[in-house]
Structure 1
Amino acid sequence: MEKEIQKILIIDDDEDVLFAAKMLLKKHVKEVLIEKDPRKIPFLLNQSSYDVILLDMNFSQDTTSGKEGIYWLEQIKERDPSAVVILITAYGDVETAVSALKKGATDFVLKPWQNEKLIATIHAAAQLKNSYNQVNRLQQEKQQLEESIDAPFKSIIGESKALRNVFTIIDKVAATDANILILGENGTGKELIARALHKKSRRKDKSFVSVDMGALTDSLFESELFGHKKGAFTDAKIDRAGRFEIADQGTIFLDEIGNLSAALQAKLLNVLQSRTVTRLGSNEAIPFDTRLICATNEDIHSMVAKGNFRQDLLYRINTVEIHLPALRDRIEDIPLLANHFLEIYAAKYKKDNMKIDTSALRLLQKYPWPGNIRELQHAIERAIIMSDHSSLQSDDFFFLNNKGPVKDNHDNMEDSFNLDDVEKQTIQKAIQIHGGNISKAAEELGLTRASLYRRISKYDIS
């Protein structure tokens, strides 16, 4: 079954030709746009995309050579290399046709045309355009998949009651299209839960697209999420689909959504309500159908109460909430996680048959793990690298004992259980351990540099 042709653009300075073509094609195409003036081509390409472009080769300035048509063909292909262009002329010859095809034309027809032949040519060209779109989408999905493969670990490890409660919720909601909000501290595995929801959903064979909202500046927000047209800004060298387009029919995961400014919250809400995106530099609304999963380590309900997060946006994203337990609240899972990471990093660093001593496991279960699973993962990797033995001992985790609470000049937070205090202490420790090197501290904490800088500002860490 042929896919319906959505939109065709016809450019010819002869109004009779435009009218005749439109009358013929409107039965076969959803929307037919006509234009007399080829100088409007750049504007028209910025406004929308077209399945097929029919372009006259001879305009009033040059009625016989075809050079003007070839010039505009080159302009179209420069702006949109995947554009499918059929050239039409009353003065066709083999040499002109070959020249046009070499410069990127898809086909070449003479006028007066045969109606059946023109319709068949347009359907073939539209199928080619659809193939281009599919290849482009597959390339972008492949890139997203390759990025996903680099995720720190691929499965959810644990048998604690707290984690089993999370699994129960996943089983209930995964098959639905309900919007999910995942709440939990840094390092608790929010993206893993999002991936589990996707894998158990009806969209599992489509893309899972992850976006770190905390790493997006205001200037990059729209380009990354909604896409852009070539020339929309200085570095926009080609047309680019946004993350919502790439995630069409699949799942989009917006991490650290609590970090969005008020202005960006409004833009996101508008897109979620309309279920369409408009690329930067274009006025064309592009519909999308994607499952939305969001996550944050912030107390988002408190943020709403303080006016820092839109209540209507919160209603939109949290049809169902999933609360992830901190690692200190599921200590029975620590041996399972530790052995999981041991297997991974022992293989990576070619230290076969390594084990973890019982005394070391007891130490790991007593440590509060302010960085949660991500901190445990890094601790196991570091211990394996530094150990000279076939079994990890308590002494191999000496660096955990050295991470005493950091005292600032005003408050002693040593015994504080406030999550903000714990996060502030952890950040201060990481920065101190790495001698003020923000890049290394961010890597140790499992954060981006941008995310770490925001937290340094939030907690006024000097």
Structure 2
Amino acid sequence: MMESMKIMIVEDNASMRMGLVESLRREGFEVHAFSDGESALKFFKQKPLPLVITDLKMDGMSGMDVLEQVKTIQPQTAVMVVSAFGTVDTAVHAMRKGAADFLTKPFSPEELRFRVGRLVEKIRQEIILTRLKEENELLQGELLRSYGAMIGTSQGIKKIFNLIDRVALEDSTILIEGESGTGKELVARAIHQKSNRHDKPFVKVNCGALSENLLESELFGHEKGAFTGAIKRKKGRFELADGGTLFLDEIGDISQAMQVRLLRVMQEREFERVGGEDTIAVNVRIIAATHRSLSKMVQEEKFREDLFYRLRVIPISLPPLRERQEDIPLLVHHFLNQYAGTRGQSSKQISDEAMETLKKHTWPGNIRELQNLIERLCVISENEIIDDAMINQHITGPSKSLMSGFENLPLEQALEAFEKGIIMAALKKSNNIKNQAAKLLGIPTSSLYYKMEKFQLL
């Protein structure tokens, strides 16, 4: 027996109406029958139903009028138009008006049950999909609040949200500390968006991706002729961020010489371009981030103590994902929806057993590792539901999962997925220390940063 669903029938022929009612009630449907469009619509306005079956030609309001009115009142309602005068043109016209099906009289009870069953199944799937979307949107709406793409309800992330609220409106320098992949840039952007500088630039510099000379030019700009290749004057990131926020990512990777120059700019709020003589004053808020222990680097005399305290006016320490297990389902659904949205596809689902496996994983690469895993599973999985077996296949370690599933991908996509996996494995083995990972891979550090940016691993 088909799943019970409420159906409205609009048919002016009494015997036909009775036949439709009896046939559908035998299948377990709750049927509301009317002899004219006016009384049917009066009922429908009070109690919209998911499926309407209407005759085309009736005294008074026609079936086409009923169709238009129903779709106006409740666009999600499926409407089947029935007619003894069916032509191709009439059916096409009804479909363009929003009809879900067009059934020509006479028809057998079996044909009616088949057509209605097909519509009911489609309606049922749409109801489930709509409910899931609404639930996800509600969750996302509650979680995203005004913290950008940061998601979570754990105590650890709630403390971060509260800290963002408290420090956003101040101009104090902030140092964000946390393992790679914990969302340090998201925190910096959230602070900027909630600050009085939100309508001014947010400028990011990845200090670890550039050599000392390139970083100096990138931060402070240069004059024409300052060095080979300097064919024109270039503004640095400090100038570009004037009035706004400058985000110095991987601050622990800068050289001792650069530390001295950065300290002077932070103290005096002015600098000169490379090769220039004019002093330029700027008004920027500095937010720095690192996955390293700067306090340990200070003890080892690898990082200046005075710069450390200048940066660490307000410290924010981000918890790793392994300490936020209750946030993993929210993050998983967010990434599933995000991937589906970018591809214009329906979102895949995760089985309960698979979700438990994800929650138990230690996540050395944190949120970025989870995001990359979900993307890989969405690409590789041929099913709508990602099960525990597939999760285990791709989460037990790079040696087992690196090539798994790529054999069904186009060559170019498979090569990119394999290269990305190799890089992630090297980063994991080197504890996310970029120069060590580059040595493991046998490539220059600059090439590693290029590939990390290409694969969105930064």
Decide whether aligned partners of structure 1 residues 352 and 441 sit closer, same or farther in structure 2, where only a CA change above 3 A counts: same
Whole-Å separation in 1 of the counterparts to 2:441 and 2:370: 27
CA distance in 2, matches of 1:458, 1:294: 26
Find the aligned partners of 2:375 and 2:337 in 1 and give their Cα distance: 10
> Could you tell me how far 1:319 is from its partner in structure 2?
0.7
Q: Which residue of 1 aligns with 2:55?
A: none
- Cα distance in 1 for residues equivalent to 2:385 and 2:167: 42
2:195 is paired with a residue of what secondary structure? coil
Structure 1 position 301 matched with structure 2 position 320: no
SS of the residue corresponding to residue 181 of structure 1 reads strand
- Which amino acid in the other structure matches residue 435 of structure 2? R
Give CA-to-partner distance per residue, 1:80-129, whole Å, 9 cap, x none: xxxxxxxxxxxxxxxxxxxxxxxxxxxxxxxxxxxxxxxxxxxxxxxxxx
Change beyond 3 A, Cα 1:200–1:282: same
Kindly report the root-mean-square deviation, in angstroms, between the aligned alpha carbons of the 2 structures: 3.0
Q: Are residues 1:184 and 2:175 paired?
A: no
Which of 437, 442, 445 aligns to 1:456? It is: 437
The one of 396, 401, 413 aligned to 2:390: 396
Q: Tell me which residue corresponds to 1:203.
A: 197
Q: Partner residue of 1:325?
A: 319
The structural deviation recorded for 1:398 is: 3.3
- Matching residue of 1:372: 366
Aligned residue identity for 1:188: T
Give per-residue Cα distances to partners, 1:281-315, cap 9 Å, x unaligned.
Answer: 21101000000100100011111111111010011
Amino acid at match of 2:361: Y
Runs of 5+ consecutive residues of structure 2 not aligned to the other structure: 1-146, 401-413, 444-458
Aligned residues: 281
- The question of whether the paired residues in 1 share the 8 Å contact of 2:249 and 2:288 is answered with yes
Deviations 1:394-441 (A, max 9, x none): 1232344430799xxxxxxxxxxxxxxxxxxxxxxxxxx999x87764
Structure 1 length normalisation: TM-score? 0.57
TM alignment of 1:96-111, pairs within 5 A:
none
Contact 1:183–1:324 (CA under 8 A) maintained in structure 2: yes
The percent identity for this pair of structures is 43
The one-letter code sitting in structure 1 at the alignment partner of 2:180 is: N
TM superposition shift of 1:193: 0.2
Residue 65 of structure 1: aligned partner: none
The letter for the 2-side match of 1:455 is Q
1:279 and 2:273 correspond = yes
What residue in structure 1 maps to residue 151 of structure 2?
Answer: 157
Aligned to 1:266: 260
Q: 1:202-247: CA deviations, max 9, x gaps? A: 0000000011000010110211000011121121122110000000
1:456 Cα offset (Å): 3.1
Give me the whole-angstrom Cα distance separating, in 1, the residues matched to 2:246 and 2:384.
42
CA–CA separation in structure 2 for the residues paired with 1:262 and 1:357: 51
Q: Secondary structure at 2:213's aligned position in 1? A: helix
Q: Aligned partners of 1:343 and 1:198: how far apart in 2?
A: 26
**Equivalent-residue separation in structure 2 for 1:290 and 1:328 (angstroms):** 35
Deviations 1:26-68 (A, max 9, x none): xxxxxxxxxxxxxxxxxxxxxxxxxxxxxxxxxxxxxxxxxxx
Counterpart-to-counterpart distance in 2, 1:185 and 1:377 = 15
The answer to whether 1:215 aligns with 2:232 is no
> Partners in 1 of 2:267 and 2:423 — Cα distance?
35
**Shift in Å at residue 173 of structure 1?**
0.8
Structure 1 counterpart of 2:336, which letter?
L
Q: Quick one: which of 224, 227, 248 aligns to 2:218?
A: 224
1:345 aligns with 2:339: yes
Where in structure 1 are there 5+ consecutive unaligned residues?
1-152, 407-432
Shift of 1:278: 0.7
Which amino acid counterpart does residue 381 of structure 1 have in structure 2? Answer: E
1:364-420 Cα distance to aligned partner (Å, 9 max, x none): 1011100000000000000011111111111232344430799xxxxxxxxxxxxxx
Instruction: Tell me: CA distance 1:242–1:404, structure 2 relative to 1, closer, same or farther (3 Å).
Output: closer
Distance 1:278 1:179, change over 3 A: same
Q: Could you tell me which amino acid in structure 1 is paired with residue 295 of structure 2?
A: H
Aligned position for 1:172: 166
Alpha-carbon spacing, 1:380–1:253, altered in 2? closer, same or farther (3 Å):
same
| Aligned counterparts of 1:332 and 1:251: Cα–Cα separation in 2 | 32
The DSSP-based 3-state class of the residue aligned with 1:241 is coil
Contact 1:374 1:445 in 2 (8 A): no
Query: What's the offset of the Cα at 1:272?
Result: 1.3
| Structure 1 match to 2:87 | none
2:335 and 2:375 in contact (8 A); partners too = yes
- One-letter amino acid of the counterpart of residue 297, structure 1: H
Q: 2:221 corresponds to which letter in structure 1?
A: G
TM-score, structure 2 as length reference:
0.57
Contact 2:259–2:304 (8 Å) recurs in 1? yes
Displacement of 1:461 after TM fit?
Answer: 9.7
Contact 2:336 2:347 in 1 (8 A): no
Q: Deviations over 1:322-350 (max 9, x none)?
A: 00000000000000000000001122334
C-alpha distance in structure 1 between counterparts of 2:285 and 2:209, whole Å: 22
Look up the equivalent residue of 1:187 and give its one-letter code: G
Change (3 A) 1:190 1:446: farther
What letter matches 2:202 in structure 1? F
User: How far apart in 1 are the matches of 2:188 and 2:426?
Assistant: 21
Which residue of structure 2 aligns with residue 246 of structure 1? 240
